[in-house]
Chains A and B, each alone.
Chain A
Amino acid sequence: MSTFGADVERLTEPLRKTSKSFYVLFGIAAVFSAIALVAYLIQLRQGLAVTGLRGWGTQGGTPWGLYIGTFIWWVGIAHGGIAISAGVRLFGTEQFLPIARIAEILTIVALPAAATNILLDIGRPDVMYQMILNWPSTVQSSPLTWDMTAIFLYFSLSATYLAITLRRDVYYCRERGTLPEMLDPVYRLLLFRYHPSENEKTEQMVWWLALGVLLLVPLLSGGVVPWLFATMGMHPGWFGASHGPAMLAESLTNAIAVVIIVAGAFRYAYGWDDIIDDEVFRGLNTLLLVLALTTLWFVLQSLVTGSFPAAPAETTSLTNALVAGEFAVPFWLSVGGLLVAVGYLAAQSLQPSLFSVKASVAVGVIVSAAIFLKKVVFVVEGLLHPTREPLASMFADGSYWPTTVEVALTVGTLAGVILAFLAITKIVPIVELGHLDDLPDPDEGDLGGDGSTDDTAADTEGVSA
């Protein structure tokens, strides 16, 4: 059974009930967030010297490392969310409807996490202000500015999408009295001049937003993010046209993996086995299988071309570093993780009895960790070895290892996202109610609450006043 037959009270349960496991998870995330805050204060006081990041070339280090790798990882995750929801609207993949809102929220919390990692990497936070101030000139030629612009646009469209789709559900829940009263000012703002008759236009507007968001996905993870690297000819391993599609495949792989993890967590936490049913996970597993295979196919491309005797010297050197050199451990862990995932996903596809939600979630964790390693290695590898002249003769090879501060802040962004997610489950319904079969037509006024139609209309007008 999907949401279509589910009871509204059950779907809005997270708004009213708080389990012990919620408090435990909230507490753990709060502790790691606090540790990250302390780490950030240390970094602010002492500068980037407390990180493993150093100037490229003369300082023998890399200016980009864990923070930028984590940034790309979060941007990738952000795609899965809204893309799944948009797919439901554009392509009728209603199988994923029960997780559409969860996925949308994932996007909304993942993008700020990505931006936070940029803020961590630039050191002084007021540099961000300079970046905005200089936008009119840097937009002419800076891939970083294109990147900021695209992420900002993606966030704006996604947040508008979420806000518009929430209006009907919040209206419905508010009339039934299932929303926390202390947040009423927030709901009144969200329901500004809401009237049930707007739903037809709202659906049309959301459809266009879904189209816009889906068009942005390849422009972001397959465009401006890889162009940060693919336009830089002086760094071995970075330059090239294939990074766009390769990174898009990696990002979408990661995104679906994390959607599986989050969907599994909600199913477990609220006993929603019948709402987020096995078919949702089977569908996501199939998607993940195709995407993980595509990612591995791109890895194969780079290994074959980089290992061939006629490859350019710096490409050969880099490939050797990945296969049997200093990056071999994270590289093969990453490839191994993807292979294990593909093995399980293919097996459960051929032999359905092998399927289980727990195994699917475990595979999601493995895939996401594998992509994380791959992203960090990709960022660092291109900066360590200045193999092209004249830089090769000027600078020695660099080195990089993340410090405790970097690790604490990276874990902190994850903890912050979990905190935000938990908080949002207490503010808005996390399953779309608008598609429930038994959802009364608001135009008819009977919403199952105490108020009559006239009361409802009057109250909404009050909201708008």
Chain B
Amino acid sequence: MSLGLILVFGVLLAPLYLVLAGWIFGEPKDTETLAIGLAFMTAIILGPIVFSFVPISFRVIIP
């Protein structure tokens, strides 16, 4: 396994794992609020990824 994979998935993403574990296993438990939080986070993660595809239009304008 490469240094990058260990670093990104083992170290950089560790805070995300911690947050998700805290949300899911921490008290108080509230499934609906948890789901809303996860939905917000997913939307926020997907938003910039989708937006980042906008620059591809430049390739159409100037190949």
Contacts and interface: CB of A to CB of B under 8 A. Distances in A.
Contacts of A132: 49, 52-53
Contacts of A153: 12-13, 15-16
Contacts, number: 120
Interface in A191-223: 192-193, 198, 200-202, 204-205, 207-209, 211-213, 215-216, 219, 223
B28 A212 contact: no
Interface of B: 2-5, 7-8, 11-16, 18-19, 22-23, 26-30, 32-34, 36-37, 39-41, 44-45, 48-49, 52-53, 55-59, 62
Interface string A147-179: 001101101110110011000000000000000
Interface stretch (A138-146, A300-308, A408-416): A138-146
27 contacts: A125-B55, A125-B58, A126-B57, A138-B4, A140-B2, A140-B3, A140-B4, A141-B3, A146-B4, A146-B8, A146-B12, A149-B12, A152-B48, A153-B12, A157-B16, A160-B41, A163-B40, A193-B36, A198-B33, A204-B26, A205-B34, A208-B19, A209-B19, A212-B19, A216-B15, A219-B12, A219-B15
A91 interface: no
Contact of A215 (B15, B40, B52, B55): B15
Interface string A124-137: 11111100100000
A227 B39 CA distance: 33
B37 A126 contact: no
Contacts of B62: 124
A129 B2 contact: no
Contact of A205 (B13, B23, B52, B53): B23
Contacts of A223: 12
Mostly, the A contact residues are: helix
A150 B37 CA distance: 21
B48 A198 contact: no
Residue among A119, A129, A192 having the largest count of chain B Cβ atoms under 10 Å: A129
B12 A224 contact: yes
B44 A160 contact: yes
Nearest to B39: A192
Nearest to B37: A205
Contact of A200 (B3, B7, B28, B36): B28
Interface residues of A, number: 46
Contacts of A146: 4, 7-8, 12
A109 B62 CA distance: 30
Interface of A: 44, 119, 124-129, 132, 138-142, 145-146, 149-150, 152-153, 155-157, 159-160, 163-164, 192-193, 198, 200-202, 204-205, 207-209, 211-213, 215-216, 219, 223-224
Contact of A160 (B28, B29, B40): B40
A198 B32 contact: yes
B15 A212 contact: yes
A129 B36 CA distance: 30
Contacts of A126: 55-59
Closest 10 A-B residue pairs measured CB to CB? A208-B22, A125-B55, A201-B30, A212-B15, A212-B19, A140-B2, A201-B33, A198-B33, A215-B15, A126-B59
Contacts of B7: 146
Nearest to B18: A212
Contacts of A150: 12
A152 B59 CA distance: 24
A128 B55 contact: yes
Residue among A153, A200, A201, A212 having the largest count of chain B Cβ atoms under 10 Å: A201
Given A160-B40, A211-B19, A224-B12, A202 B2 contact: no
A198 B30 contact: yes
B27 to A, nearest CB: 7
Contact of A140 (B5, B22, B55): B5
A338 B48 CA distance: 36
Nearest to A194: B36
A142 B4 contact: yes
Nearest to A45: B62
Given A125-B58, A211-B19, 14 more contacts: A119-B55, A125-B55, A126-B57, A128-B52, A140-B3, A141-B2, A146-B8, A149-B8, A149-B12, A156-B44, A205-B37, A208-B23, A212-B16, A216-B12
